[in-house]
Structure 1
Amino acid sequence: MFLSVKGLKKAFGDQEVLKDINLEIERGNILTIIGPSGSGKTTLLRCLNALERPDKGTYSFDDGLELHFSDHIKKNDMTRLRLKSGMVFQSYNLFPHKTALENVIEGPLIVQKRNKDAVMTLARDLLEKVGLSDKMDLYPHQLSGGQQQRVGIARALAIQPELMLFDEPTSALDPELVGDVLKVIKDLANEGWTMAIVTHELRFAEQVSDRVLFMDNGYIVEQGSPKDVLRNPSEERTKQFIQRIMNP
């Protein structure tokens, strides 16, 4: 078990967005999170690496790190949590004034203080991995949306995380660009990366996921294997959602 989450809650003012979330992520597995807009999916993902700090809940990692969010958390432990994961955002979030290569080296070089030569070699290898070896010196405005998202994936990989988090990585892309990004994610899945993915691409989720989790109104309504949740859901709310997405 890479990560166990128990009793996770998060509110923004009076709006309770996450309500007693309990889940587990196995090392080397892909957890896909689905659900309607406003169900709490993105907030859950952002809580997993403390971009949003949970109000309550416990995270237990397989290396012994344990965080209780109702208590004071040491700065060092919060840093350890954030370094465990790399985040890929739906809106890319690249630095517009930096080239593709400069975007990828930013985290390991500036934040992690790693050796520059080693980081440059790693960044070039990662950009080649995502099919952008000929785009390294281009700026974000010179790249298509799909290319920018692949830079974002390379940037997240560059910090060498244990967990990759994808927040609807294809939702901002034109339909013809979606396939290139999904192929990169499939390749990472085949390499054994541990991932949590928020997506509306249900057929893709069925192909790559070890577990699928359906959320609605801040709760986990149902979770299980892709076959169980996507093809034979037991909850009526899950059935309604999947029917609407699969047969619009």
Structure 2
Amino acid sequence: MFLTISGLAKSFGDNKVLKDINLELDKGEVLSIIGPSGSGKTTLLRCFNGLETPDKGRMSFENGLTIDFGEKASKQSIDTMRKKSAMVFQSYNLFPHKTVLENVIEGPVIVQKEKRANAVERAEALLEKVGLKEKKDFYPHQLSGGQQQRVGIARALALKPELMLFDEPTSALDPELIGEVLTVMKDLAKEKWTMIMVTHEIQFAGEISDQIVFMDGGYIVEHGPPQEVLKAPKQERTKQFLQRILNPV
């Protein structure tokens, strides 16, 4: 198993945001996390790459790295975990004063100390992959939201992560631009990238996911393959959520 999560919990003051989270993810699988706002989805995603540190629980990777947060995980182990993943944010988070190409090579050159020439070659290949090679010398303000998000995906891929994390990558986009980002993500799923995605795109999640998690109130309420969770949910709370999302009044 690529990643195993056991008993993960996280609070902000008196607010218990995550409660006893248990998950497994195999290499090449896509896991989608759905649920109402405030259910803990984004906090859970941020725990996977160290942007948030759980209060307790355990995270184990297939190469033997295990982090026990109840024992106050070391900075070194959290740094090692962080290097395994790359995140695509809902608000793009591109450097506005850098070109598209400079945004994509920033991580490999500055953080990973890769030779610039190698980083540029890989960045150009990734920009071609997301359909934006001709925009490599543009600045973010010269791009549409969908194009900026595709640059964000290329930037994440440039870090050569073992795990791709997507935090509602289409939520800031106009409806007509959503498709171009989902197409890139669908291609990544076909290429067997290991991915965890927080999304409100329920139909899309059903198409590309191996597992769906429905969260509410900090708990995993329902978990299983898409055909079970989306088509035949067992829990009443899941049924209510899907009814409101898929059949709005």
Q: TM-score, normalised by structure 1?
A: 0.99
Greater mean deviation of Cα atoms: 226-235 or 113-122: 113-122
How many Å apart are 1:180 and its aligned residue?
0.2
2:167 counterpart letter in structure 1: D
Is the contact between residue 50 and residue 79 of structure 2 (CA under 8 Å) also seen in structure 1? no
Q: CA deviation at 1:174?
A: 0.2
> Which amino acid letter does the alignment assign opposite residue 189 of structure 1?
A
Deviation at 1:75, TM superposition (A): 2.7
The 5-angstrom pairing of residues 113-192 of structure 1 reads 113-192=113-192
Counterpart mapping for 1:53-68 below 5 A = 53-68=53-68
- Equivalent-residue separation in structure 2 for 1:136 and 1:187 (angstroms): 21
SS of 2:90 mapped into structure 1? coil
| Matches of 1:69 and 1:47, distance apart in 2 | 11
Superposition pairs of residues 1-248 of structure 1, within 5 angstroms: 1-248=1-248
Deviations 1:135-167 (A, max 9, x none): 111111111000000000000000000000000
Query: Which amino acid in 1 is paired with 2:118?
Result: A
Q: Distance in 2 between matches of 1:124 and 1:180?
A: 19
- Alignment deviations for residues 45-82 of structure 1 (CA, whole Å, 9 cap, x no partner): 00111101111110010000000112133332221100
Deviations 1:28-48 (A, max 9, x none): 000000000000000000011
CA RMSD of aligned residues (A): 0.7
Q: Distance in 2 between matches of 1:213 and 1:143?
A: 33
Among all aligned residue pairs of Structure 1 and Structure 2, give the percentage whose two residues are the same amino acid.
67
Tell me the matched-pair count: 248
Which ranges of structure 2 fall in alignment gaps of 5 or more residues?
none
Q: Which amino acid aligns with 2:68?
A: H
Give me the whole-angstrom Cα distance separating, in 2, the residues matched to 1:9 and 1:73: 14
In structure 2, C-alpha distance between the alignment counterparts of 1:14 and 1:138, rounded to whole Å: 45
1:149 is aligned with what amino acid? Q
The secondary structure found in structure 2 opposite 1:134 is helix
- Structure 1 counterpart of 2:28, which letter? G
Distance 1:126 1:45 in 2: 24
Shift of residue 9, structure 1, vs aligned partner: 0.6
Question: 1:54 is matched by which residue type in structure 2?
Answer: P
